[in-house]
Amino acid sequence: MLFIGGLGGCSAVGYAKALNPELFGMERIAEGIYVDSSMSDEVRRALVTNVAEARSRIAEVYGAAVSTPDIVACSTQSCFESFGGGRQRALAFGDRMLLSPRGSTVHMVSHEWSHTELSARLGWLTRWVLGDLPSWFDEGLAVAVSGEPMHSEEVWRTVERRALPRPELTELMSNGDWSRAVVRYGDVQAAIEGNPDHPMVVYPMVGHEVRGWLARNGRAGLLALIERLRNGDRFDAAYRQPLPS
Ligand SMILES: [Zn+2]
Tell me the pLDDT band of 10, cut-offs 50, 70 and 90: very low
Q: Are strands 96-99 and 90-93 parallel, antiparallel or unpaired?
A: antiparallel
Tell me, in angstroms, the distance from the centre of ligand 1 to residue 61's CA.
Answer: 16
Overall pTM > 0.95:
no
Question: What per-residue confidence (pLDDT) applies to 137?
Answer: 98
**Top-confidence residue, 23 or 129:** 129
d(CA 5, CA 2): 10
Tell me, in angstroms, the distance from the centre of ligand 1 to residue 201's CA.
Answer: 14
Tell me, in angstroms, the distance from the centre of ligand 1 to residue 142's CA.
Answer: 6
pLDDT, averaged across the chain? 91
What are the backbone angles phi and psi of residue 197, rounded to the nearest 5°? -70, -15
Instruction: Report pLDDT digits (tens) over 66-103.
Output: 999 999 999 999 999 998 888 888 988 888 999 999 99
Least confident among 24-28, 104-108, 227-231: 24-28
Tell me, in angstroms, the distance from the centre of ligand 1 to residue 245's CA.
Answer: 31
Mean pLDDT, rounded, for 138-145? 97
- 3-class SS of residue 20: coil
